Amino acid sequence: MVPPSSPANKKLPIKNAALILLLAFLAVIMLKAFYLSSQHVNSMSRSLALVDCYRAEMLMRTVDAADYWSQAAYGLNAETHKRVIQTYDKVILQAKGFLDDASAKEPDDLVILAKKMIVDARIGKDIESDLIIFSSMSAAMEKSAVSHKTIEFAKIILAIYRYDVSVGSSNTSKHNAVIVSNTDLHILENYLPDGWYREQVLLRAYKINHQDSSYQKLLSAIKDKTWRYVFKLVLIGISGIIAILVGIIVILYQLIMAGNRSSSQKDGSKAKEGAIERQPAKYSWQTVACVFLAWFFTQIVVGYSASLLKQKGLSFSFTGSFAPAISIGLIYLLSNGPGLIYIYLFALKPNGLKFAEGISFRLHVGQYGTIALILVGILGWCAAMPLVIAAVFVSANLFGSSGSSNPVIAFVMEAAQQNNLFAILLFYFTLGVLAPLCEEALFRGFFYKYLRSRHNIVLANVLSSGLFAIVHMDIGALLPLFCLGSIFAYLYETTDSIVPAMVAHGLWNSITFTLLLVLLGS
């Protein structure tokens, strides 16, 4: 035993004080970064604008479906037809709102302004003011060192949308003849990937050129695609309802079981045989602080390095999906992978623990085998559905949140629309494997485990889930992320293994990406 007057004990308060100061400094940095991410989004405004464009595109596909249904509804009763029209108008307003927001975020982006004009023209809104802005922007770009293809794209859009389809003539004498060649179509494909926006431009071009056969063929293809889109939405809706119902049943069952356990404890009943024997975390709060300090520092260094590369023009562009998929995967690995190393070096190795055991990566625990742990993870994903949906509703109605502001979503949506197989596989690996492994090891296998060995389940869950939500730096998804973290922590609590939490986490990310593939993909 070390005497109180020994040098080791005298130095301990000094070390603790220094560590507390470091943690306070780190907390200030984190709060400042979180504030800046919520207030100043210039660095990610383009990606957020693109997300708005994709959201508007999906809504406009729904508008097409409502339009077809509105035509069919004339043969139905007046009340049904009225409901269809009301839904139609609501969706249009929402889609326009997304595109107005996108244009406000990126006022100098020709492609975004073109998409705004495409929607306005589709719903019969006057686009003359947008055409004037678009024309002046393209003229200014023609004098600067802008890509020749961008200028050609602008000219094609101007030629098509200056033409008054209802009158059958051009609004500007310089554009009396509107001919869209194969080269022009190729340029349109580069700036408007296969989707609703390009279809609308081509429809207008075919109508201007009196290409009746091509017009009718495309119109028929759009109608078929629209009904397939509706069918997908119905399937997604039915699947979602089933998952929500299963999730509610799981939550109610767990509440009942928790009540029974509480009653048993009050009655002095013995613990159930086969109960999990938990090993308390051997490391101290200083060790936990060191791991997070090192991890946060790595995040800052990697983020700063990525910003420098972007300033030097070495970052990925938005014109493809494969390069962003590689870049995002590498950035995530470099930012979060070292966290696993820090856990091992600072907490596990000094205590003689193996890595898998130290982070509770167990494939068999008590009565739970590997298959049972996977099934628990699947049920945990179902339980997350109603809770996260409720959190999204609360965030939108009470806090005015418009959804996640994570710029990675733009790249994920682009990969989904372009159907690039390699990019899709890379995103599945990053979102469905890499993210669950790193984040569950850090927040549940390491941090929650430490908190749970010293505090009750509620406090441990709230603290670990709160930090999990905050470090994502996504103010629009703060409450949903907290709910997800709570579910993952509870899965770990009930099994003493991070495998179910990893399964639920991976399913959440992967299924979200799959939904985008289904809705945006060809």
pLDDT band at 175 (very low <50, low <70, confident <90, very high): very low
- Mean pLDDT computed over 77-94: 70
Structure tokens at 122: 């589709």
For the beta carbon of residue 212, count every other beta carbon within 10 angstroms: 10
pLDDT band at 4 (very low <50, low <70, confident <90, very high): very low
Residue 453's nearest CA partner among 25, 416, 445 is: 445
- Mean pLDDT computed over 315-322: 54
Per-residue pLDDT tens over the stretch 191-220: 887 789 989 998 888 888 888 898 899 999
Residue 407 CA to residue 516 CA, distance in Å, equals 15
Span of 115-129, 372-386, 452-466 with lowest mean pLDDT: 115-129
Per-residue pLDDT tens over the stretch 391-416: 998 988 877 666 676 767 777 777 77
Placement of tokens 């099934």 in the chain: 375
Residue 447 CA to residue 340 CA, distance in Å, equals 12
- Mean pLDDT computed over 420-424: 82
Is the pLDDT at 517 greater than 80? The verdict is: yes
In contact, 109 and 47? CB cutoff 8 Å: no
In contact, 499 and 374? CB cutoff 8 Å: yes
Query: What pLDDT does residue 25 have?
Result: 64
Structure tokens at 453: 């060995």
Q: Tell me the C-alpha to C-alpha distance, in Å, between residue 347 and each of 88, 234, 433.
A: 57, 49, 24
Task: Write the single-letter amino acid at 258.
Answer: A
Structure tokens at 180: 């869209």
pLDDT band at 291 (very low <50, low <70, confident <90, very high): very high
Is the pLDDT at 125 greater than 80? The verdict is: yes
Query: What pLDDT does residue 5 have?
Result: 44
Rounded to the nearest 5 degrees, what angle is found at the Cα of 429, between the Cα atoms of 428 and 431?
65
Structure tokens at 189: 């494909």
Q: What percent of the chain has pLDDT over 90?
A: 30
In contact, 111 and 191? CB cutoff 8 Å: yes
Residue 367 CA to residue 275 CA, distance in Å, equals 8
Query: What pLDDT does residue 281 have?
Result: 77
Helices (H), 196-320: 196-208, 212-266, 285-311
- Residues near 487 by beta carbon (within 8 Å), at least 6 away in sequence: 380, 383, 384, 387, 504
- Mean pLDDT computed over 369-379: 95
Task: Write the single-letter amino acid at 144.
Answer: S
Q: Is the pTM of this model over 0.75?
A: yes
Helices (H), 312-406: 322-342, 355-358, 370-398
Is the pLDDT at 466 greater than 50? The verdict is: yes
